[in-house]
Structure formats: C-alpha cells, structure tokens
Amino acid sequence: MSQKVFRVLVLNPGSTSTKAAVYDDTKEIANITLRYQPEKLIEFKGILAQKQFRTDDVIKMLRENDISLESLDAVVGRGGLVKPIASGTYLINERMIEDLSSDSALVHASALGGLIAVVIAGKCNIPAYIVDPIVVDELEPYARLSGIPEIERRSVFHALNSKAVARHCAQELGISYEDGRFIVTHMGGGITVGAHRHGRVIDVNDAVSGDGAFTPERSGSVPLVPLVEMCFSGKYTQAQIEGEIIGKGGVRAYLDTTDMIAVEEMINNGDKHAALVFDAMAYQVAKQIGAMFAALEGKCNAIILTGGLAYSKLFTGLIKRRVGQFAPIHIIPGEEEMLALAEGGLRVLKGESKAATYE
C-alpha cells in the first residue's frame, strides 16, 4: 500500500450552499462553506443550471487558499439520488453523469457534488468519485417486504455519516467494521436507525417516506387506516397530506417549532406538554433501536448515536435509559460527512479498496 500523502478535494452541495474542503490524507488544510442567497439562485433555471456558477466558486476558493488544481490527486463529491447501489466509493463514469443529470436526481442539489467533481477533475486529469450516497441499498430480501406487494420497503438513509461513524467506532473497539455488528442512529431533521452487520446495512427505516420514529419535522410511522381516512376526507390535497408527513409533522406539529434547543428551554421552564413530546420522540427512537437489535439477532458490538440531536444530553439520556442494556452506547454528535467523503476517496487512492463501477 502506498505511503504517499494524497490531496483530495471534497464537495458537498446543499440547496443554498456548497461545502468544500481539502485534505492531505485525513488532515484538513482548507474548509469553507460557500453560501448563496435564495434570490441569487432563482436566476438559474433549475439546479443543473447552477453547475458552472458553483464550479467557478469552488475554483476561486482553492485559488484564495493557495491550492492549485495540479496539486490535487482526486475530487470526491457527495452522491445524489442515483439508482440504488451497494456501499462504497464509485468512480464517476458517463452512466452516472447521465443519471445525476436526470430530473429525478436533480430534485436535490447533492447531484451537483458528482457533476462539479467531474468538471474539476477533468481540468487536471485526475479521478472523480462519489461515496455512500443516501440510496445505498444493502437490505436483506426479507427486509424489503412491507405487507403490501405493491409497496416495497426502500433503503434511503444517512449512509455517508452512518457508515463513517460505524467505522470509527469499530476502530476504537479494535475490530474492523466488516467484522462487527452496530446499530447506528442518525438523529437530525430526519432520523434513521440502521442495523450494520459485517459491513452491510441489512435493515434501516426509510425516513423520506415517513417510516420510523417521528422527528423534529416528520411524522414517522402512523396508524394507516386513520391516515387513509384523512386522504379521502376531502379536507386535504395530496401535497397537504405529504406535508403533514414530511416537513410539518413530528415536533413541529405538536409544538410549532423544530428548534430542539428551544424545546429544551420550554421543558426547563416547566412546560409539561413539551416534555411529553420530547420524551415520546426519544421513546420512538429507542423502539426503533430495539427493532434493529432484533434484526441483528441480539448481537451488537455498539449502539451509536450521531447527528445534531446527539449533542443533547437530555435526549441521549432518555434513549440510553431504555436501550443501554442492549450494548455499549457511543455518542458521536454532529456529522462527519466531509471527512467521510475524503476517507472514501483515500481508501481507493491508497489501494485499501477498489473503486466500484456504476452500471
């Protein structure tokens, strides 16, 4: 394996920002978030039209940090809504570029991660990769059955950060990620709880479709017959129902806020309803962890709590009280997406793994 220090540019576009960072191996040497006013982006006809504008901004950022394109060994972009694929680092090829440029992928700005990466990599004849997009799909066949043949359970989750924190936890435990069993709970605006077995996520809730625990802004799983009755009551449009599930559900529906720091302040000021909602969300997360413990047949090296909500000692404490007897709990707050992207590229550059082919 090579001992060379590799320089990697990492790109993670969001709806109104582009996060960019440069690593020499795992040492961060530059990190900046390029933010855009919504009115500026309105000038462009869709996300794809923003590609050159955002690319120019990234190159300008590199120049301002005295980083030449010629010094880069690879560019790694955030993967977008491509077709379901196995976990890994993928060399961006023509087929992926085509899929990243499709209408379905361009629903979210993350598609620009791969598209911009290809442009910059092409300027200096180096490889461009994506790593563990949210559509990573390693579900066991029995985990796909929903009970209604027309509806198949999907794997859509925080794959990048979940895989990264599981790898780091495994390293702390002195084992390889591929040899361990972990339950990784990513807790933010959406909450996903995955069962990681021997390097594969064999089951996970689809938070985008309303599956799992309720969250600061999502309803989570609800009794279906009452939901069907709402749909056919004539009081709601399809968009309104979908809004109740994603965006206006969960804590927002009960407390009219998604700010969990504000909710904790409400609790500290004696708001019993806020305390109930907060505890109920932790309770539902704990139940989801219990479900993944069953998916792992009761064998688990560690339960990992990550994401923004993992900063809350009150919230993590409510979860630990309910599932702490299952396995040791490791709290890794926030997200490590930029480093995870760099590490994914580095594993290929250093010969520790091979780049997968997108087909």
Q: What is the CATH number of the domain that holds 204?
A: 3.30.420.40
Domain co-membership, 194 together with 283: yes
Domain co-membership, 319 together with 182: yes
Residue 315 within a domain = yes
Residue 70 within a domain = yes
Residue 317 CB coordination number (10 Å): 11
Contact 162, 184 (CB under 8 A): yes
Q: For position 80, what pLDDT does the model report?
A: 83
Residue 93 within a domain = yes
Residue 142 within a domain = no
How far is C-alpha 220 from the geometric centre of its chain's CA atoms?
17
Domain co-membership, 257 together with 346: no
Domain co-membership, 325 together with 350: no
Contact 198, 183 (CB under 8 A): no
Q: For position 113, what pLDDT does the model report?
A: 93
Pick from 70, 47, 69: which is nearest to 60 by CA? 69
Residue 146 within a domain = no
Buried residues in 219-248 as b, exposed as e (16+ CB within 10 A)? bbeeeeeeeeeeeeeeeeeeeeeeebbbeb
Domain co-membership, 110 together with 239: no
Residue 49 within a domain = yes
Domain co-membership, 233 together with 116: no
- What is d(CA 205, CA 214) in angstroms, rounded to the nearest whole number? 11
Residue 83 within a domain = yes
* SS3 at position 23: strand
User: What are 34's two structure tokens?
Assistant: 């390029």
Expressed as residue numbers, the domain containing 170 is 159-333
Pick from 119, 104, 109: which is nearest to 47 by CA? 109
- What is d(CA 145, CA 29) in angstroms, rounded to the nearest whole number? 46
Q: For position 123, what pLDDT does the model report?
A: 95
Q: Which residues pair with 17 in a beta bridge?
A: 35
- What's the per-residue H, E or C state across 324-341? CCCCCEEEEEECCHHHHH
Residue 290: burial class (beta carbons within 10 Å; 0-12, 13-18, 19+): middle
Contact 126, 96 (CB under 8 A): no
Residue 216 CB coordination number (10 Å): 22
Domain co-membership, 93 together with 207: no
- pTM for the complete prediction? 0.86
User: What are 48's two structure tokens?
Assistant: 């794809």
Domain co-membership, 174 together with 320: yes
- What is d(CA 329, CA 314) in angstroms, rounded to the nearest whole number? 15
Domain co-membership, 350 together with 264: no
- What is d(CA 278, CA 274) in angstroms, rounded to the nearest whole number? 6
What residues of the chain score a pLDDT lower than 70? 1-2
Q: Which residues pair with 152 in a beta bridge?
A: 145
Q: What is the number of structural domains in the chain? A: 2
Domain co-membership, 95 together with 214: no
Domain co-membership, 131 together with 168: no
Residue 150 within a domain = no
* SS3 at position 346: helix
Q: For position 104, what pLDDT does the model report?
A: 81
208: DSSP letter: G
Q: For position 2, what pLDDT does the model report?
A: 53
**Angle formed by the axes of helices 111-123 and 51-64, nearest 10°:** 60
Contact 132, 79 (CB under 8 A): yes
Domain co-membership, 127 together with 169: no
Instruction: Name the amino acid, one letter, at 281.
Output: M
